[in-house]
Each structure stands twice: as structure tokens, then as C-alpha cells.
Amino acid sequence: MMEKSHAEERLTGLEREFSSSSSQHRRDLETIAKQQAVVDRLQLYNVVVDTEVTSKLLLQRGQLQTRTTIIPLNKISPARRPAETVRIAQEFKVALDLVKFPERVRAAMQWVFGGTLVCADLETAKRVTFHPRVRTRCVTLDGDVFDPAGTLSGGARAKGCSVQVMLSELKQLEQQLQQLESEQTQCSDNLAGMQAAADKYAALQQKLEMSRHSLEVAKSCVAATAHAQLHDEIESLREQVKELSAAEYKKAEQALKKAKQEAERHNSLWKQREQEFETLRLEIQEWENAVNTAEAQLKETTDNTADLAQALKSLEKEHTWIPSERQYFGLAGGVYDWGGRAPAETAACLTQLRERKDRLARGLNTRAHTLLGSEEQQYQEVLRKNQVVEQDRKKLVEVMGELDEKKRRTLIAACDQVNRDYVSILSTLLPGAQAQLRPPPGQGVLDGLEVREGISNRAEWGAAVSRSLVPGFGHAAIQTSAAVYSG
């Protein structure tokens, strides 16, 4: 029993289940299948199996009720015509090329349809069948069969529906059945989801009804409490407020109109300010762009200045006369008057001078030229020493100025101290008398000092005693004159 089950698993199927073709060639293929099945009205009921063992098991234990042709795939020999035969007969098609079938049963399909040709009409089928180099069985589109052995069958189409047509319709119905089953499964899933939603909706609806009932009960309980009475009183007071505020409504309406007018005015001002703000914003943006441009120009100028400074340092290092002659650069009418000369003319003059220098250099004495270089170096050294001496002279002048300032401050401090001591001594000897040291009118402390004496109760200083302290070479000369006090 297990061996029979195993054999049935190896059964591939009926030949008619694999073949499919267009409606134009179905009757021809059916005729070919009948001829291949020994014309025993088995039509396309050939059984396709995998091996001859399976064929043997089907014949022995398959309990077949009718005569059946079994096609083992491993033993079948495809009946295909040579390529030369097909090339000669160009007006027909090989029946195998008109059949669609799975690749795994190609051998069985070749055995059934590979040895037959399909032609359009009787004349073509006759000419091809009995051609000396073809001699192959042919079937016309009307179902007529020509055999090289000399037999001819046909003349009229067989009555009844074609098996191929019924198989095609059966496949279409099976596809429709599969599609309907898929749609039925999808509908069942949707129905199950809708049923779950309906159950949930019913539960929520019941819960809503219970909540509504609880709300009505709560409202009834609240109406019978003091809270409900207070609510009624509040409503009554609200009505009174409405009646009292009816007179104030007009005032409020007027105030509202006034507020609207004020709002419109402020809105107009706001729009005006907004326009001004937009204008200022655009101006600020323009200024920012100008600032960015100026910064870029400044950076470029700074870079150029740095490059020029570096070039200037290189020139000063190369030409040592530049620092000493710098003070004459740019002076109008001078040797270095940049504005009085055109750059092109200056460049041309420089070129001429260089050419002249080169010509003169060829006629100069080499030793004299060497001595000239040495003298120029000595001259530059003298100039350098002169600069050092000039710097030392400036420092000495600065030091002398500082010493004069210290001397002046020291004299002023000494004069103040002498005035204080002098007044103290004189007031002790002669009460009410005063004295002081001060420079002559229109002069300073370094020009000399005068001794002035007076009485403390007088508003003016007398000219009784006048002593001038004149500094000379670090010493003071004193000049004395008689003083007369006014009466």
C-alpha cells in the first residue's frame, strides 16, 4: 500500500492539464493528440509520470478502467524534425511551438506534438507532407490530417465541443474560483473586524446610557439641595444685573465706539511706525552692507599696507641712503617730487640712466670703482656716526632741560621756605612787619628775586627796601636801595 502511495506521488498528471494554446490551434492540437494516441478516442488523456517504475505500478495496481497511454519522462524520446526539414517548409509551424506547458514535462510534450506540423490549408499540407525532403505528418487548421504513408483523414470538423476549449474554460473558471475564494477570505476578515468593532460600540453605547442615567439622577439630587437654591438666587441676581446695566449699556457702547476710534488711530500710527521701521531696517541693512564692504576694503588695504611695508623694509635694507633722504621725499620742486613727474617718464628716465651706467661701467677703472665703493662705505659709516652724535646731542638737550626744570622747582621751593622763615624772624623783631621774596614784574624766578617789606595793617606793599637776588653762575648778587614808606 505504501508503494502505491509513493507511486501516486510521482504521478505528474494528465497531458491535457499541461498543454494550453490559442483558440486558433486548439482543434489542430487535439487532432494531433488523437493520432498520437492511436486514434482510440482517448483524446488528451495521456498520463505523464516521472519514471517507468511508476508506469509499471499504475498498470499493475492502478485499477485503470479504460485504455490509457502512460508517458514516462525519463524514457520518452522526443519526436522532433531535423532543422533542415523545418527550414525547407517555411509555410507551416511545428505543433510544439504552439503549445504552452511547464518545462518539467517538455519531453512528454515533444513526444506528443514534436513530430507533427501545422499548415494553413489542404494544398500546403499536401505539398509539405509528400515533399521528398520533408515527408512529415501535417494537420491543417480545419483538422484534416495528411500522413506520408498515404492516408488522409478529415473533411469535416468533429461534432461537439473541443476538449482544449473546455480545458481553457475550466482553467479560467478555476482562476475565477481562486480569486473569489481570496475575496471571500478578505471579506470574512473584514467582517470579523467589523463584528469586533460592533461589539465594542455596543458596550460603549451601554456604558453611555448608564452614564446619562447617573447624570440625570445626580441632577435630581442637586436640585433638592441648598446648592440648587443658591443657583436660583444667582440667576435672579443676574437678571437684576442685566436690568440695572441696561442704562449703562449706552455709555459702554459709546465708550466702545471711542475705543474703536482710538484703536483705529493707533492702528494707523502702528502702520506708519511699521513703515518707518521697515525703512530704517532697509537703511540699516544698506549701512551694514556698506560697513561690510568698507571692512573688506580696509582688510585689503591693510594687507596691501603690510605688503608695502615689507617691500619698504626690503628697499631700505637694499638702499641705505633712504632713511637719511626720507625727509625730502614728496617735497614740491625737489629731487623726490613724486607729483611733479609722470611715472612713465620716470621709468623711461630710469631705464636711460641704467643704460648709461652700464656704458660708463665698461670704461671705468676697476680699482677706482673699488675705491669708490670703499669711500661710499666710509661715507655711510660717517653718516651713521653723525646720526649717533645727533641722537646723543638730543639726549643732552633733553637732560639739560630736565635739570633746568629741577633747578626752577628747587628755587621755588627754597623761595617759599625763605619767605616763611623771613616773615617769622621779622615779625619777631618788629611786630606787625612783613617781608617776602618775589621776582621782578614780568620776570621769572630764574631771572632774579626782590625783597619786599611792609606793615601788616597796610593794604599795599611799600618800596622801602628792594633787594634783587640775581642768579649768576650759581651765586646770587644782592642789590639794595632805600625804601620810603608813605605817610
Could you tell me the domains of the chain?
2-160 (3.30.70.1620), 364-487 (no CATH)
Per-residue pLDDT of the chain (487 residues; tens, 9 = 90+): 334 444 444 455 444 444 444 544 445 445 544 444 333 333 355 777 778 888 778 777 766 777 777 778 777 766 555 565 555 555 556 666 666 777 777 777 777 776 778 887 788 777 877 878 777 788 887 778 888 877 777 765 555 555 556 767 777 888 888 898 888 888 888 888 888 888 888 888 888 888 888 888 877 776 666 666 677 778 777 777 777 667 677 777 787 788 888 888 888 888 888 888 888 888 888 888 888 888 888 888 888 888 888 888 888 787 777 777 777 777 777 767 767 677 778 788 888 888 887 877 776 666 676 777 788 888 888 888 888 888 988 999 899 889 888 888 888 888 888 888 888 887 788 877 777 778 888 887 777 778 777 765 544 555 434 444 434 333 333 333 323 222 2
Dist CA 113 CA 109 (whole Å)? 6
End-to-end CA distance of the chain: 176
Dist CA 28 CA 118 (whole Å)? 7
The answer to whether 47 touches 70, Cβ cutoff 8 Å, is yes
Angle (deg, nearest 10), helices 163-223 and 226-318: 110
Interval 414-437: pLDDT, tens: 888 888 888 888 778 887 777 777
Using the structure block, give the residue that is written with the C-alpha cell 635694507: 317
Count CA atoms within 13 Å of residue 279 on its CB side. Answer: 6
Buried b / exposed e across 156-189, counting CB within 10 Å, b at 16+? eeeeeebbbeebbeeeeeeeeeeeeeeeeeeeee
Burial class, 135, CB count within 10 angstroms (exposed 0-12 / middle 13-18 / buried 19+): middle
Q: Which three cell numbers stand for residue 462?
A: 611799600
Q: Among 45, 101, 50, 35, which Cα is nearest to 69's?
A: 45
